[in-house]
Amino acid sequence: MRTAVVTGGGSGIGLAIAERLSKDGYQVAALDLNPPDTGLAPATDVCDRAQVDAALAAVRDRLGPVTILVNAAGTDGFRRFTDLTFAAWQRVIDVNLNGVFHCVQATLPDMLDAGWGRIVNISSSSAQSGQPFMTHYVAAKSAVNGLTKALALELGPHGVTVNAVPPGFIDTPMLRRAEERDQIGGTIEKHIQRTPVRRVGRPEDIAAACAFLVSEEAGYITGQILGVNGGRNT
């Protein structure tokens, strides 16, 4: 049975991905600042390499080598660029981009040993469209898309695929917090009217895309950015 690690697996999209992969028959461990109470991995900050290494050692101990990684941990931010401190810029880059660096590097040896692996990076539709007051977030998520493409070329010969899923407008605690703070330009209800499929996205929509991308039959798909956004970005 294959083992999958899902970062950000304690909430929203990451939690739905962990639940879906578990239902599909994978052994799943969540790496999160606030992990679900499975006892598989301690609370982990993906920006801290020592914590990531320790969590992965605990997961390997219990579940064996990790050959599937979904990077869903993320944090947003909302500040006019002229008011953005370098510390706030760095934190958003650290979680959304450097966290992916650490988790990929820390799991890759298992995938290279197995000659098989699947990496899915959850980026953001804002990397396609841009988003005012979120320059740090958009920069980080755009970099994740770039990292995905370059890494796919490097790892293809080793049986490891790397793809990105940029979600758009998914009903999670992150989106609800942004709505409450009036940071999404109106209500979720208003956005639904501007969304071609006329509904808000569900975490399960992202989980379904990930379930496909980590499957055996997706082995010829790599370096791709698969938007899941109800048609809001084409």
Nearest to 229 by CA among 189, 196, 207, 204: 196
> How far from chain centre, in Å, is Cα 67?
16
Residue 43 CA: distances (Å) to CA of 40, 49, 172, 224, 226: 10, 13, 21, 31, 30
Q: CB of residue 159 vs ligand NAD: minimum separation in angstroms? A: 26
Residue 164 and residue 148 in contact, taking contact as beta carbons nearer than 8 Å: yes
Q: CB of residue 33 vs ligand NAD: minimum separation in angstroms? A: 4
Nearest to 15 by CA among 89, 122, 98: 122
Q: Which CB atom, from 113 or from 177, has the smaller least distance to ligand NAD?
A: 177
Residue 226 structure tokens? 């698969």
Interacting residues with ligand NAD (CB under 6 A): 7-8, 10-14, 32-34, 44-47, 72-76, 95, 99, 122, 124-125, 167-170, 172-175
- Outline where DSSP puts E strands in the chain: 3-7, 27-31, 66-71, 117-122, 160-165
Q: CB of residue 207 vs ligand NAD: minimum separation in angstroms? A: 11
Q: CB of residue 6 vs ligand NAD: minimum separation in angstroms? A: 10
Active site residue 137: yes
Q: Which CB atom, from 94 or from 110, has the smaller least distance to ligand NAD?
A: 94
Q: Which CB atom, from 74 or from 117, has the smaller least distance to ligand NAD?
A: 74
- What whole-number distance in Å separates Cα of residue 123 and Cα of residue 144? 6
Of 78, 101, 137, 169, catalytic: 137
> The tokens 């109470």 sit on which residue?
37
Q: CB of residue 64 vs ligand NAD: minimum separation in angstroms? A: 22
Q: Which CB atom, from 11 or from 222, has the smaller least distance to ligand NAD?
A: 11
How many residues comprise the chain?
A: 234
Q: Is the dihedral of CA 32, 184, 145, 89 positive or negative?
A: negative
Q: Which CB atom, from 29 or from 46, has the smaller least distance to ligand NAD?
A: 46
Annotated catalytic residues are 137
